[in-house]
Structure formats: structure tokens, C-alpha cells
Structure 1
Amino acid sequence: MFNQGWQKLSEQTKQDANLDSRLVCVQEAVRFRYEQTDDPGHDWLHVMRVLKSCKQIGALVGADMQILASSALLHDLINVPKNSPKRSEASTAAAKASEDILRNAGYDDIEVQRIQRVIIEHSYSLGYPPSSIESAVLQDADRLDALGAIGIFRAATCGCRLGAAYYHLDDPFASDRVLDDQQYTVDHFFTKLLDLGKQMNTAPAQAIAEHRVSFLRDFLTELRLEIVETAFGDFPN
């Protein structure tokens, strides 16, 4: 019995070591590419945040970390601008670009196919429902990064890259106009971000999203106070 237990432990240790070594190979192959981007919303820091969320959520829902962690490292390997007509093709291109990297790191055919499917399905633009728990977790982790404090950074960055103003001068919160997040960054909160919390696949992500969406609402309340409700001279002596 002792020998059998030791054998199982030894096999698990080898599997864990193999997981780490292959992930290191993938990380070394892609980090430089992410660090060269001029988009801080999809850079190496973004990938590390998504990977961290994947590990935390994946451990709670029983995801295959071999597949999930590799998918997280590769999910934005090809980044297409938000306003490009080919935006929805980004995740498919990233999945294709990941194949040689994964094979060189030692992943087999089945693993490569699973990882590629997870990468493709993470895309918000495509709107594919997750076909696996790993896809569900990567979708959640990537979308969580669009919320909270980081989400505000990313929304402002994206707006600037699109040439958008922060808000409409006469109607900042679109009381009497159609929302247009290509022209006004604050509109993006209402066209997408505030609804992301309702789109999470897993219970852990739902809980995190609820907190981060609440933070976004607090931010919008403060913004309204600063640009709409408070006039010069209204401050107490």
C-alpha cells in the first residue's frame, strides 16, 4: 500500500513538473511579443492578471490547469484594434499562431486542439458559448479584467486609441441621445461594462464581477458629481 501511494505521489510530481516546464516554454516564447505591444490593455500585465484569475477560479471549479493556463498565456497573442472590421477574427488568429509554440513546448495534438478551442471561444466579439469549463473560466477571467479599477484604466486607454472624447459636453450620460462608445468613452460603461457582470459563467467570477461593477457605479456617481451636479461656488466655506 505504501509503495502504491508513493508511486502515485511520484507520478503526480512528474506531472506537475511537466506542467511547469511546458508553461515556462510557452511563457518564454510569448512574453517578448506581448511586451512589444503599444496597447496596455492587452499587454503582458493583462496576460498575467488573466492568468492569475484563471488559476484562482479554475481551482474552485475543477478546470484542467494544463489547458487553462496555456490558453491564458496565448489568448491575446494576436491583438486586433477594437475599431477594425477584423476584430472578431483576433481569437481565431491567436489560436492559429499558438500551434507551433505549443508543439515546441511539448503539447500533443489533442492538447493543442483543446487549447486552441479555448482561445477561440474566449472572444467577446465572437460571442461563442463556452464548450468546456476551461473556456468558461478564460471567458470570465478576461472579462473580469475589463471591470473595476483596471477596467477604468483600460476603458480610458481604449477611448484614447479610438480618438474618443471622455464624454459628450451637453449630454454626458446620454439622457437624450443614442449611446456611442466610439465617440465618448463614458458611453462604453453603459454599452458594455456594466452588463458584463451578468455574463459570467462561473459563480466565483460572478461574485468578483459584482464587486467590480459596484466600483464602476461609484466611479460614475463621482463623475456625474464632478461634471454635472457641482458648480463652482457650491463648496462649503
Structure 2
Amino acid sequence: MTGRDWRKSVVYYIRREAQPEDKFGHQPRLYALAKTIGQDLDYDDDVLFASAWMHDLGVFSGHRPQDIEQLSGWDHVPDTIEQSIELLTGWDFPSGKLDAVAEAIRTHQAKDEPTTLEGTLLRDADILEQLGAIGILRAAVKVGRDTRYPNFSSILPVLSHALSHLAGQTRLTRSKAMAESRAEMLRSFLSAVSDEAGDLLH
């Protein structure tokens, strides 16, 4: 492969491996979000593309423990980094950028402290994906499928936590503005659920 052909390999692989199937949309949305946030900023697009598309590899079915007890304590990040570096190397990703991809993936969660611009873009975008309409859809699809979320009531704390703890944690100017808009939408949704169902949501 030459040039950016490795990108085709990344997309093909993630499209195939992202299971359950709804998990696939997160990757292209995350990359698009990160690029939007990063307008006019001097970041490495190869690093951003690779880290955005590969960052959740360890949470896909077939790439994570099947045992419920093991899964409850599973930290997917180290495994994701190891798999990503191996795969990207095989696809002729620029070797001098592999460490930067690993670092962006390592710090992509809200609890982390990014050390690079690519990592900050990835983390901000990942937070935005947990807010607004997309955040609601990503939580709702887990109901009845994930043992942690047996009913609709069980995802309300997840959405409430996103609103109260994540909405203010983005770092960059453009992502802060986007977070405010998405948080307002999520706030309205949670209020509507309370008005319509009270304590009878189940």
C-alpha cells in the first residue's frame, strides 16, 4: 500500500469488527466531530484519523472478555492500543506516528489528561458523543442488551451523569460551544421523561 491506502484498511476492518453493529457509527462521527473542533488548529490528521477509528477496538464483541465478571473490570484501552499498533503496522501506517496514535487512544476518555492536541481533539469529541441526541441513542440501544441496563430507568443515571459531569469537561473553544448546545438538548429530554413518566418509566 502507498500513500493513504492504510485508511481504507482501517475503515474496512472497523466496519467488519464493530459489533454489535450499531457501534460502527461512533467512529466516523467521532472523526468528523474532531475535525470540526480542530478547524484552524495544527494537528496531524493521520494520527487523528487512526486514533478516532481505532480507539474503541477493545470494546467490540469478539475483542473483549465474554465472562460477565471479567468484563465488569475490563479496561479496554491497553488492549486497544496493542491491537491498533499491530494492525496499523501491518497496513503500512507511518511508523513514526504510531506512538502519537497510542498516546491519543490512551487519553481519549473524559477522566484522562491528554498530552497532545490530537488526544485533546479525540477526548473532546468523545465527550460530545455522550451528550445530546446521539448520547441518548447510544445509551438507549443498550437497554435489554447490556446486563447493566435491563430497563429504561437504568440508563437515566448514565444520561444524568453525562449532563452533570461531562458537559463542562471539554477543553477547546469550539467543543465547549457544541457541548453547551448538546447539554441543553439532553437536559430537555430528561425533563420531558420526568414529566411524562414520573416514577413509572421502568
- Indicate the residue corresponding to 2:189 in structure 1: 219
Task: Tell me which residue corresponds to 1:85.
Answer: 72
Partner of 1:64: 44
Q: Is the 8 A contact 1:58 1:64 kept in 2?
A: no
Match for 2:7 among 7, 13, 23?
23
Identify the match of residue 199 of structure 1 among 150, 165, 169: 169
Residue identity opposite 1:197 in structure 2: A
When normalised by structure 2's length, the TM-score is: 0.83
Q: TM-score, normalised by structure 1?
A: 0.72
Deviations 1:127-183 (A, max 9, x none): 22001000000011112111111111112223432233323xxxxxxxxxxxxxxxx
Whole-angstrom distance in 2 between the partners of 1:204 and 1:105: 33
Name the SS of the counterpart of 2:198 in structure 1.
Answer: helix
Q: Max radius of gyration: which structure?
A: 1
Q: Partner residue of 1:170?
A: none
- Tell me the equivalent position of 1:135: 119
CA distance in 2, matches of 1:129, 1:54: 17
Query: Among residues 69, 76, 84, which one is paired with 2:56 in the alignment?
Result: 76
Number of paired residues? Answer: 189
Picking from 76, 79, 84, the partner of 1:98 is: 84
Check the 8 A contact 2:143/2:151 in 1, yes or no: yes
Q: CA–CA distance in 1 between the matches of 2:196 and 2:40?
A: 41
Alpha-carbon distance between aligned partners in 2 of 1:132 and 1:201, rounded to the nearest angstrom: 12
CA contact (8 A) 1:140 1:205 kept: yes
| One-letter amino acid of the counterpart of residue 113, structure 2 | P
1:147 aligns with one of 110, 131, 136 = 131
Q: Give the aligned residue type for 2:128.
A: L
Q: Secondary structure at the match of 2:152?
A: coil
- Please list every run of 5 or more consecutive structure 1 residues that lacks an aligned counterpart in the other structure: 1-16, 168-183, 230-237
Q: Give me the whole-angstrom Cα distance separating, in 2, the residues matched to 1:134 and 1:204.
A: 15
CA deviation vs aligned residue, 1:64-94 (integer Å, no higher than 9, x gap): 111111111101111058983333x212211
- Which runs of no fewer than 5 residues in structure 2 stay unpaired? none
Which residue in 1 is equivalent to 2:107? 121
**2:38 is the counterpart of 1:52:** no
Q: CA RMSD in A?
A: 2.3
Letter in 2 for 1:199: Q
Q: Which has the higher contact order (CA 8 A, sep 6+)?
A: 2
**1:39 shift after superposition:** 6.2
Q: Among 185, 205, 208, which residue is 2:155 paired with?
A: 185
User: For the residues of structure 2 that align with 1:105 and 1:39, how far apart are their CA atoms?
Assistant: 24
Give 1:190's aligned amino acid: S
Say which SS state the counterpart of residue 106 (structure 1) adopts.
Answer: coil
**Secondary structure of the residue that 2:56 maps to in structure 1?**
coil
Structure 2 SS opposite 1:158: coil
Q: Are residue 38 (structure 1) and residue 33 (structure 2) matched?
A: no
Secondary structure at the counterpart of residue 40 of structure 2: helix
Q: Distance in 2 between matches of 1:157 and 1:25?
A: 28
Identity over aligned residues, as a percent?
Answer: 25
**SS, match of residue 57 in structure 2:** coil
Write the distance in 2 (CA, Å) between the matches of 1:109 and 1:85. Answer: 34
